[in-house]
Structure 1
Amino acid sequence: MMLKRDVDLKAAVEAAWAAAAAHRGEGKVASYIPALARVDPMKFGIAVVTRSGEAIVAGDADEAFSIQSISKVFMLALALNRIQAMLWERVGREPSGSAFNSIVQLEVEKGKPRNPLINAGALAVTDAVIGDGSPDEAVAALLDYLRSAGDDGAVLTDDEVATSESEAGARNRSLAYFLSAFGNLRNPVEDVLSAYFRQCATAMSCRQLARAGLHLAFDGRDPVTERAPITPSRSRRINSLMLTCGHYDNSGDFAFRVGLPGKSGVGGGILAIVPGEASVCVWSPGLNAAGTSLAGAIALEALVERTGWTVFA
């Protein structure tokens, strides 16, 4: 996968930002989480980090936002590092075709979530990362991972958002208790939720998140630092799950329009991986009906049109 001949990447990023800028403010912010309901819907940033570590940015690319479900990608990496293939005994690998917080599917399928990127699956993954340790240790492991992968020690949890999520977390509590009832949580429900709400409340900018995802574009090895947080096979599996499951019941449309592995979060961010080339992060808080950034998806579609980046080339 390579850039189209004679493409100026800086110009392509600026064109992608411009193509989506008119859609700022469209969609709906995640109002069910009070702290996210207060975010300015006109914010919009994009960052592309290449093999050399160079960042090409536009808009609000250096403003921190709540990464929310994008954290599931990195927790999945930690869980695979910790318990390896045993994770798949507890979580499936199929697209859900349902909303990210569906309870019906979890009950019908006897407590085994369809994949690790829906909320129920992510709760099981978080439980696996906690293991015999504590919620605090699991959150610290995530922050260490992001700081190391992003070569940036400034990544933090937004405690206000975490508290807000916990206070509005009835649906996630229901999912966690369903998992526990079917024997798919090893730790107390509130311990798992404590770690889960804090992982989702991680605050990062587009520039930071794109940099932290760069190793996923190069088989798990950072091309700048040469650190390898995960093995090549795990990196490829994570990318495949991002492509098929990264946007809930909007995953097929995203693959059709953008053609890259990606993971959205209801904070308005999307992390997209360009294998062998780059990592991309966009952020715009207005969401479509499936919980994916509306303007962000438009920007990514415009970017791949200009660059020729797609896993289907």
Structure 2
Amino acid sequence: METVQISFKVLDRTLLPPQKPAAVKTSLQSFLPVVPQTLNDPHLLVVKWLKHAQSAKTHEGHLALEKMPVLDTRISLAQVDRSALILDTLIKASEALGHRWTIGVHDKTTVQIGAEKFTLQLTERLTKLALPPPPPTPRKPGTPWTPNFSSLRAPSFEWIPTGQLSLQVEADTLHGTRKNWADTKAKRLEKRLGSIVEGFALIAESITAARIRREEQQNARRIEEEVRLQRVRHDESQRRLRRDLVSNMEYWQRSLQLRAFIEATCKANAGSPAHVQQQTALWAAWATAQADKLDPIQANIGSVVNLTTKVEDWFTGHSTIRGVNDWWDE
């Protein structure tokens, strides 16, 4: 058996060129706002909201804050303290990244990132329970019978707070952009604030992309409409030229018929007395002049061969009263 010699050489790493340190990935995923146990130095928007929320009345399970210039929430009284901590932490974390929070039109909570704006609302899910109608009042002995209209009353409901909060963003974005975060069995909203703040940036980008797409679609529709309008206006121009062509031909045929009739009349009176022939000559001169007026070639040949026709600016081709179809429509 032949012996094979194998040799090893130890690599001296000091002779290798220095490597660049790996770039540190920066992401909002590492930005995890922590919701405190107590409210410390709250944001002015939260202070104003708390003032109204603590004194607001309850309507169908939610605090009635719809027409107040405060943070947009639909929660029960039991969730005021928790919501204040969530909103305060979220606003401060968002503004630290340059986002701007305001109370906008119709008292909507508005977040602005760069040039883009969107609105949001903190909502608590409620359970709606139908209340049974009250039992009829027992009739006392000896009292006359009266009809019971309680079954005809509108049904009553009870709204049961669930404590499950969700943050819902309203914005015109591309399909598939996340705009809702909610409590789940595995994770409460407090643990989702980092994802929410990151989602705000994605929503702003999606708003921009959606607007660009709309503008592109609008431009495409505008160009398509311009092409369509140019085509239908050209077709209408050709239709009118054909209409004039047929009309001139018909007038010309009538003038030929008149001239033939005039000639036949003169021939019929060729053997008539002189005064009749004189009267016929006067009539023939007058009738020929009328035929010339009817004949477009004699009256205005320039209009016969003119290929220029005007289509009104209001004409769009969507509705046109054309009357009887011409030869080319048959």
TM-score interval, normalised by the smaller of the two chains: under 0.3
Which structure carries more strand by proportion? 2
TM-score (norm 2): 0.19
Q: Radius of gyration: which is bigger?
A: 2
